[in-house]
Amino acid sequence: MESQKTNLRRCTYLVLDEADRMLDMGFEPQLRTIVSQIRPDRQTLMWSATWPKEVRALAEDFLGQDYDQIQIGSLELTANHSIKQVVTVCEDYEKDRKLREMLSKIMLEKENKTIIFVETKRQVNDITRALSREGYPISSIHGDKAQQERDWVLREFRSGNVPILVATDVASRGLDVKDVKFVINYDFPNSTEDYVHRIGRTGRAGATGTAYTFFSMKNSKQAKELCGILEEAGQEVPPELRGMGGYRSYGSNRGSGRGGNSRGSYGGGYGGGNRYSSGGAGGPKKYGAGGSSYGSYGDKSSSYGSSAGGGYRGYSTSATTYAAPTSYSAGTSAATSYGASPFSATAAAYSANPYAAFAAMYAAPPVPPPSAGASVSASSSVSRGPVSYLNGTSS
């Protein structure tokens, strides 16, 4: 077409299959080039397993505004309820061992046709070679295989002569083998949509099947969506996976909520969040009179450092030592008794200013610059810091 050896002006019937997948793979420019050469009075059919806004926009461009839409099933991303989903949270180095344990059990089953999905073509070849040397009847398929070889592999797999197939996502769509009983996601795909397509290779046409998935920390950003798919299908959600679904990085986890957004904000860190219930309001980022603290251990009204500025407030505005914390029971600023607080030992440790040594070091006046040719002593490297930590001023 680019060399003008042929054209598509006489075509009257256009079929676009797996439209969402073609968009995911970046083929939109090629699609538009092809469609632009087809007469506008054509009949167009477009098929898509999902219906995101990008696919809707493509449909409006290629089919016009008045196209007829036939929807089978829900537009929400859901998995086949006939498939038992088993998710194992593990480290990457544990996958090989767990894969062999699964295959040793699967091969004892009467119906044991299995597809193993991995991320890259190189991994497909490596796993296939390793398991073949161990005596497993196995073959592989990926995008670099010639069409003739792909056809042969699929014939052997369908017939059951080779019951284990290792593949990339090239086999996640359009592969219709009715008696696949097991799917193993050695690597979790880049999207939960691909996950649903992968496990959909089993449990077809009213049959049942089992899908095993290895899920590691590098996939944690997809944990929340995967939990939703499992819950919608009535499957068991591992506690480790559910924990990943609420996972936040160190800075936002320890300081989320009203207490600030990082440990580094001395007044505003250690607020609410997953680890420490609900902390008080955050304070300034330096050693000011911050009001936040280690959330509430138990009752929300009894915070270790209330939003009014109680608790260990960093340096107080009126002294160079730590101010007495407030009551642990009500968070008021009037109480000075620790009562039966479990933190009394900690409070005693803070009675003295832990920065006294640093304050003394910075109390010396600045050393004047040496005259020309004069030697510089080691003590000359000590410069004058801020006078007070109370309000962060530089004067």
Domain ranges of the chain: 1-75, 83-245, 249-340
Q: Per CATH, which fold does 1-75 belong to?
A: Rossmann fold (3.40.50)
Q: Cα 390 to chain center, whole Å?
A: 41
Q: Which CATH class is domain 83-245?
A: alpha beta
**21-32: average pLDDT:** 87
pLDDT for residue 259 is more than 90: no
Beta strands in 110-262 (DSSP E): 114-117, 138-141, 164-167, 182-185, 209-215
Query: pLDDT tens-digit profile of 91-137?
Result: 999 999 999 999 999 999 999 999 999 999 999 999 999 999 999 99
pLDDT of residue 256: 37
pLDDT of residue 313: 36
Task: Tell me how far apart the terminal alpha carbons of the chain are, to the nearest angstrom.
Answer: 75
Query: How is residue 171 written in tokens?
Result: 């086999």
Task: Give the H or E element holding residue 357.
Answer: helix 356-362
pLDDT of residue 352: 55
d(CA 193, CA 200): 11
Please say whether the beta carbons of 279 and 301 come within 8 A: no
pLDDT band, very low/low/confident/very high, at 79 (cuts 50, 70, 90): confident
Q: For helices 121-133 and 95-106, give the axis angle rounded to 10 degrees.
A: 60
What global pTM score does this model have?
0.55
CA distance to 148, 171, 185, per residue, from 144 (Å): 12, 13, 20
Strand partners, 149: none
Comparison of pLDDT for 356 and 181, the residue scoring more: 181
Least confident stretch, 4-18, 72-86, 266-280: 266-280
> What are the residues whose beta carbons fall under 8 Å from the beta carbon of 262, sequence distance 6 or more?
251, 252, 254, 255, 269
Give the best-scoring range by mean pLDDT among 50-64, 106-120, 165-179, 264-278: 106-120
Strand partners, 220: none
Least confident stretch, 172-186, 286-300, 363-377: 286-300
pLDDT of residue 360: 57
pLDDT for residue 142 is more than 80: yes
Question: What sections of 37-110 are H helices per DSSP?
Answer: 53-63, 95-106
pLDDT of residue 358: 53
Q: Is 170 helix (H, G, I), strand (E, B) or coil?
A: helix
Beta strands in 47-190 (DSSP E): 83-89, 114-117, 138-141, 164-167, 182-185
* Owner of token pair 């699964």: 102
d(CA 186, CA 165): 12
**219-243: average pLDDT:** 92
pLDDT band, very low/low/confident/very high, at 266 (cuts 50, 70, 90): very low
Query: pLDDT tens-digit profile of 305-350?
Result: 333 333 333 333 333 344 444 444 444 444 344 444 455 444 454 5
pLDDT of residue 239: 92
Do 1-75 and 83-245 fold alike per CATH? yes
